[in-house]
């Protein structure tokens, strides 16, 4: 045992020294940013970016862009997304995309030229990811740069959500940055002036009006849709199944009458809310903060049920200057009826206060987007959007002219108008992509955190649980089912050795939190695993949080019930097989510094992607490999975990630094008793009685035996001594006559000896 411990320490020290050497070498190496656009253009045909294009012009400027021509006609420009904005993917490396953009700001072509994303390298077909990204083609990002539209949404690819979102986000951000630089106009810098208008809300007008007047002058805007119109919209969008499932059987029935009005404007607010309601609203609003009243009636609810389940109104979104806001329940107040005479009685009236962190100007045009949802097949849904535009009538604000120096344009002769953006103030930057991803995953994150808290409770109260074997067996099986079905197959939160390699590589190149935060469940699980390593070693993940490990154990439980014979690997052979996983990990670790792409490909020794992420929907060699490992696990419990898992090996190495020893042993364990060693499901207990925490999955079976006074020899002796002592403590054991009970004539019992 001591020899084995010394070997493991030697392995750990070797890895640490190798990491230090590699970090020093990488930092000492010169780092020069290569000009990648020309090399990528050599591998592309101009027609892949612009239809009919036949040549690229000379690359110019910094960041570089290249003109694209059809004969002598300038069609637009080609640029590399990573030259203008961050495009770091989940691999920790940039995703390089060459984009073709017209001078007007319309995207005409997208070509994915280089990436290191593992889910795309092996797993999700690249054509599916590219197809999702191609939904940006034809979008006018000039309007997005000018704040007139919100950024376009791409088609999400199941299993590669983060990768597709990172790609689309980088294309949109880079295009907006290029457009706002005015380089598409071919202008030179000269001093000139632009006159713009600044609007200020006029608070002097406070006289209340009436419903008909506000509706007539545009103070209240409405959107009216019938069921038939919505069904036609679904059919036109290619959602035939949704078109066949109308809310009511009659097409002329009202789908929704949707109204919107800015009640922070005094005249509108006092008319619709009444004097008391308006004053109450003003007491809640901060200076410059706005409030909107949204009302609806018909077969469709603009509120839905999302705000009840997750606190968010997922059917409406406020849009302005290319940014969007979904209201939450804390921004909402229910209104029973309008205060003004002549107003209709509507089923739903809601008052929304616009949060101060959302840059919103009530005097500028904005839109309320309604998301109409219908079920298609199974639990799938289709959705289409209808926009209700709003512009505040000019009678409610004053206008002042602002003179702003801008660059004068020296425009090349062209049939189309270049995308030049003139603003008095820079538009607020959109929040980082990872913030949006975390916001979209609030519910799944809450469930994951709750599950981790439950697991923490199981570990802290393990003694109480293992003394109740039936309850503990039910708890463990239920948790494994949750890990497999929800955490694995539903949420795709399967950790991988690729995460470890990516993290290590990022430390020696350019570490950024952004691409680790892009997968919230993976980030939360890794944080929990890191904390667990300090307390329990690798056991919490390998034994409880690994979906593939849970799949192996559950299948083995079924195999035992079906009386499939279980193979006990001889200790000598078992001891020589378990180092294989450490060798695999060290091989991947070293290869990752030479080529992360090769390391990710060889990391397919993990069947996680096949069995968990893609649910066996892969090419037959990968499926056969995964099924073979699962079949071996029917005879040897957790065969893959024991001998092949590089992630388990990667966790075992830092797991040596754990601060506590939670697994209890008796002095008799191993000498002479061998029961725990023989019954350990993964043979992590040495014949001498010591538990090898590097191999232990913390199933707690040995702790059940530790407290069982009918199976553990030590506890059996303790029980027998206790029973003997109790027997000697009785009167009969001391030779005394037991007391006699005599009943008297009045029914009273008297004890006599």
Tens-place pLDDT, residues 329-341: 788 888 888 988 8
Share of the chain above pLDDT 70, in %: 78
Confidence band, pLDDT 50/70/90 cuts, at residue 255: very high
β-partners of residue 749 are 743
pLDDT tens for 698-738 read 888 888 888 887 888 888 888 888 888 887 776 655 555 55
pLDDT tens for 116-161 read 665 554 455 667 677 767 778 888 888 877 766 767 766 555 555 5
Q: Quick check: bond before 485 cis, omega within 30? A: no
On the question of pLDDT at 30 being above 60, the answer is: no
What is the Cα gyration radius of the chain? 34
598 falls within a domain:
yes
Say yes or no: 109 and 214 in one domain: no
pLDDT confidence of residue 99: 92
pLDDT confidence of residue 484: 94
Question: For residue 330, with 0-12 CB atoms within 10 Å meaning exposed, 13-18 middle and 19 or more buried, which class applies?
Answer: exposed
pLDDT confidence of residue 428: 46
Say yes or no: 379 and 525 in one domain: no
Say yes or no: 134 and 169 in one domain: yes
**Exposure of 669 in the CB half-sphere (CA atoms within 13 A):** 22
pLDDT tens for 476-485 read 999 999 999 9
On the question of pLDDT at 663 being above 60, the answer is: yes
Confidence band, pLDDT 50/70/90 cuts, at residue 272: very high
Quick one: average pLDDT of 70-79?
A: 90
Domain boundary pick from 670, 687, 707 = 707
The whole-angstrom separation of Cα 622 and Cα 629 is 11
CB atoms inside a 10 Å sphere around CB 61: 12
Say yes or no: 343 and 314 in one domain: yes
Say yes or no: 227 and 318 in one domain: yes
414 falls within a domain:
no
Query: Between residues 268 and 423, which one has the greater pLDDT?
Result: 268
33 falls within a domain:
no
Query: Between residues 609 and 163, which one has the greater pLDDT?
Result: 609
For residue 721, give the H/E element and its range: helix 713-728
pLDDT tens for 365-384 read 888 988 888 877 655 677 78
On the question of pLDDT at 90 being above 70, the answer is: no
Query: Between residues 284 and 92, which one has the greater pLDDT?
Result: 284
CB atoms inside a 10 Å sphere around CB 299: 16
23 falls within a domain:
no
Confidence band, pLDDT 50/70/90 cuts, at residue 2: very low
Say yes or no: 247 and 381 in one domain: yes
When divided into structural domains, the chain yields a total of 3
pLDDT confidence of residue 377: 66
pLDDT confidence of residue 645: 92
On the question of pLDDT at 10 being above 80, the answer is: no
pLDDT confidence of residue 474: 94
pLDDT confidence of residue 180: 80
227 falls within a domain:
yes
Question: For residue 230, with 0-12 CB atoms within 10 Å meaning exposed, 13-18 middle and 19 or more buried, which class applies?
Answer: buried
In order of 303, 390, 392, the CA distances from 338 in angstroms are 18, 20, 20
Say yes or no: 204 and 236 in one domain: yes
Are 120 and 129 contacting, i.e. CB atoms less than 8 angstroms apart? yes
Say yes or no: 378 and 468 in one domain: no
On the question of pLDDT at 18 being above 50, the answer is: no
The whole-angstrom separation of Cα 430 and Cα 237 is 28
The DSSP-derived string for 112-138 is: EEE---HHHHTTS-HHHHHHHHGGGTT
The whole-angstrom separation of Cα 686 and Cα 308 is 54
pLDDT confidence of residue 295: 93
Mean pLDDT of the chain: 79
The whole-angstrom separation of Cα 52 and Cα 47 is 6
154 falls within a domain:
yes
pLDDT confidence of residue 305: 64
Say yes or no: 139 and 217 in one domain: no
743 falls within a domain:
no
Instruction: Specify the residue for token string 């006092």.
Output: 270
The whole-angstrom separation of Cα 679 and Cα 282 is 71
Q: Which backbone phi and psi does 69 adopt, to 5 degrees? A: -120, 150
Structural domain boundaries enclosing 353:
197-403
Least confident of 18-32, 153-167, 250-264, 458-472: 18-32
420 falls within a domain:
no
Say yes or no: 525 and 667 in one domain: yes
pLDDT confidence of residue 119: 53
Q: What is this structure's pTM?
A: 0.53
β-partners of residue 320 are 323
Domain boundary pick from 181, 208, 238 = 181
Confidence band, pLDDT 50/70/90 cuts, at residue 412: very low
Say yes or no: 604 and 468 in one domain: yes
Say yes or no: 91 and 138 in one domain: yes
The whole-angstrom separation of Cα 476 and Cα 389 is 54
Domain boundary pick from 181, 205, 220 = 181
Token digits of residue 509 = 């190149």
Are 702 and 693 contacting, i.e. CB atoms less than 8 angstroms apart? no
């Amino acid at each position: 045992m001591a020899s084995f411990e010394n070997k493991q320490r030697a392995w750990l020290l070797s890895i640490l020294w190798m990491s230090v050497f590699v970090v020093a070498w990488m930092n000492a190496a010169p780092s020069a940013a290569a000009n990648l656009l020309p090399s990528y253009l050599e591998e592309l045909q101009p027609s892949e970016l612009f239809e009919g294009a036949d040549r690229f012009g000379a690359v110019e400027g910094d960041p570089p862009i290249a003109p694209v021509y059809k004969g002598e006609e300038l069609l637009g420009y080609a640029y590399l997304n990573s030259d203008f904005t961050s495009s770091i993917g989940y691999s920790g490396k940039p995703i390089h995309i060459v984009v073709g953009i017209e001078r007007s700001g319309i995207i005409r072509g997208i070509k994915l030229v280089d990436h290191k994303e593992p889910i795309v390298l092996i797993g999700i077909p690249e054509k599916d990811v590219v197809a999702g990204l191609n939904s940006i083609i034809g979008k006018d990002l000039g309007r997005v740069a000018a704040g007139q539209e919100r950024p376009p949404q791409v088609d999400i690819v199941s299993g590669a959500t983060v990768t597709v979102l990172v790609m689309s986000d980088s294309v949109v951000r880079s295009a907006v940055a290029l457009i706002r630089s005015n380089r598409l106009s071919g202008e030179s810098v000269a001093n000139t002036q632009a006159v713009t208008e600044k609007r200020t809300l006029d608070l002097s007008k406070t006289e209340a009006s009436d419903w008909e007047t506000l509706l007539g002058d545009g103070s209240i805007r409405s959107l009216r849709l019938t069921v038939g119109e919505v069904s036609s919209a679904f059919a036109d969008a290619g959602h035939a199944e949704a078109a066949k499932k109308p809310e009511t059987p009659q097409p002329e029935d009202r789908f929704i009458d949707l109204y919107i009005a800015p009640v922070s404007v005094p005249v509108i607010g006092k008319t619709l809310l009444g004097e008391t309601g308006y004053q109450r609203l003003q007491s809640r609003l901060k200076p410059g903060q706005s409030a909107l009243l949204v009302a609806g009636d018909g077969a469709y609810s603009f509120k839905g049920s999302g705000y009840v389940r997750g606190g968010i109104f997922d059917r409406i979104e406020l849009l302005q200057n290319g940014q969007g806001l979904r209201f939450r329940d804390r921004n909402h107040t229910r209104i029973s009826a309008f205060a003004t005479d002549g107003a209709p009685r509507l089923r739903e009236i809601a008052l929304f206060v616009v949060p101060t962190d959302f840059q919103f100007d009530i005097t500028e045009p904005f839109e309320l987007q309604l998301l109409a949802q219908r079920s298609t097949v199974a639990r799938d849904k289709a959705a289409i959007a209808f926009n209700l535009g709003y512009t505040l009538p000019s009678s409610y604000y004053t206008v002042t002219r602002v003179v702003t120096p801008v660059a004068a344009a020296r425009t090349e002769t062209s049939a189309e108008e270049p995308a030049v953006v003139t603003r008095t103030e820079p538009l607020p930057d959109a929040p980082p992509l990872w913030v949006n991803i975390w916001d979209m995953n609030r519910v799944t994150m809450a469930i994951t955190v709750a599950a981790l808290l439950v697991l923490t409770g199981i570990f802290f109260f393990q003694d109480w649980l293992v003394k109740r074997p039936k309850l503990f067996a039910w708890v463990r099986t239920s948790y494994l089912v949750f890990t497999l079905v929800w955490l694995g197959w539903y949420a795709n939160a399967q950790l991988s050795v690729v995460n470890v390699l990516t993290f290590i590589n990022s430390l020696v190149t350019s570490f950024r939190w952004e691409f680790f935060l892009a997968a919230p469940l993976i980030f939360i699980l890794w944080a929990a695993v890191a904390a667990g390593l300090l307390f329990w070693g690798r056991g919490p993940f390998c034994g409880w949080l690994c979906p593939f490990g849970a799949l192996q154990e559950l299948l083995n439980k079924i195999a035992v019930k079906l009386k499939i014979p279980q193979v006990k690997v001889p200790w000598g052979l078992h001891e020589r097989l378990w180092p294989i996983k450490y060798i695999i990990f060290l091989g991947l670790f070293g290869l990752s510094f030479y080529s992360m792409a090769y390391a990710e490909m060889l990391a397919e020794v993990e069947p996680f992607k096949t069995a968990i992420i893609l649910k066996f929907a892969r090419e037959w060699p990968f499926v056969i490999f995964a099924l073979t490992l699962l079949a071996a696990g029917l005879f040897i419990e957790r065969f893959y975990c024991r001998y092949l898992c590089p992630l388990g090996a990667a966790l075992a190495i830092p797991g040596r630094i754990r601060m506590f020893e939670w697994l209890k042993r008796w002095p008799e364990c191993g000498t002479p008793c061998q029961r725990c060693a023989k019954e350990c499901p993964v043979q992590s207990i040495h014949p001498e009685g010591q538990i090898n925490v590097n191999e232990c999955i913390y199933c707690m079976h040995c702790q059940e035996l530790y407290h069982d006074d009918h199976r553990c020899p030590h506890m059996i002796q303790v029980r027998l001594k206790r029973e003997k002592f109790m027997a000697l403590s009785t009167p009969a054991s001391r030779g005394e006559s037991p007391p006699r009970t005599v009943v008297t004539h009045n029914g009273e019992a008297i004890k006599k000896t």
